[in-house]
Chains A and B, each alone.
Chain A
Amino acid sequence: DAGITQSPRHKVTETGTPVTLRCHQTENHRYMYWYRQDPGHGLRLIHYSYGVKDTDKGEVSDGYSVSRSKTEDFLLTLESATSSQTSVYFCAISESQLAASYNEQFFGPGTRLTVL
């Protein structure tokens, strides 16, 4: 398995509180991604990073921010959590630019977030 860990694995929080999810990789891959997975929607990209301090928005970025201060760590922050952000969050990594060439994404185990 690719060396990707996510923390916490489960979290229950209340509406309006800030939440930070962490993704840590040991593969030294350049690209890192945050997805959310909801029934009927599949995986939707929130934000991604193409290098230290280099990030960009994905399809569903509203209400989320990210930071990458080291190659191995990619943080996802919900500044003020809402019930609509209850979801399973997956981090992924890849070596090459997304969809520019054969590009396998390796996924972490996921974080189950419940916002009450």
Chain B
Amino acid sequence: QKEVEQDPGPLSVPEGAIVSLNCTYSNSAFQYFMWYRQYSRKGPELLMYTYSSGNKEDGRFTAQVDKSSKYISLFIRDSQPSDSATYLCAMGRSNYQLIWGAGTKLIIKP
């Protein structure tokens, strides 16, 4: 079993919909939780970062961490075609390497 599980999709939704992307993990020691966005044929770029539990909001994006359930989510409100990309979760703990999810491909239909 992988340490981090992420549904590869693709997830296809109409423009304007609320999108929910999720990752589950098995290692309760993880402290740092990140979401990266990767456009086709580009390198990933950091979208959201959360330390420990709780929510973090940045514009149309909200990241949630539920450590009791070992579950993290990324919500995108008012989704736009420009949000079409692959979203990768990543998580880690002090002095250890980041562990990455496989990525979810998101398609926003105009």
Contact = CB atoms under 8 A, between A and B. Distances in A.
A42 B97 CA distance: 14
Interface in B77-110: 88, 90, 92-98, 100-103
Interface of A: 4, 39-45, 48, 58-59, 90, 92, 97-100, 102-110
29 contacts: A39-B8, A39-B102, A40-B102, A41-B102, A42-B88, A42-B100, A42-B101, A42-B102, A43-B100, A44-B100, A45-B97, A45-B98, A48-B97, A90-B43, A97-B95, A98-B97, A99-B32, A99-B93, A99-B94, A99-B97, A100-B94, A100-B95, A102-B32, A102-B51, A103-B32, A105-B46, A109-B42, A110-B41, A110-B42
Nearest to B32: A99
Given A104-B46, A109-B43, A43 B88 contact: yes
A60 to B, nearest CB: 11
Interface in B24-58: 31-32, 41-46, 49, 51
A93 to B, nearest CB: 11
Contacts of A98: 92, 96-98
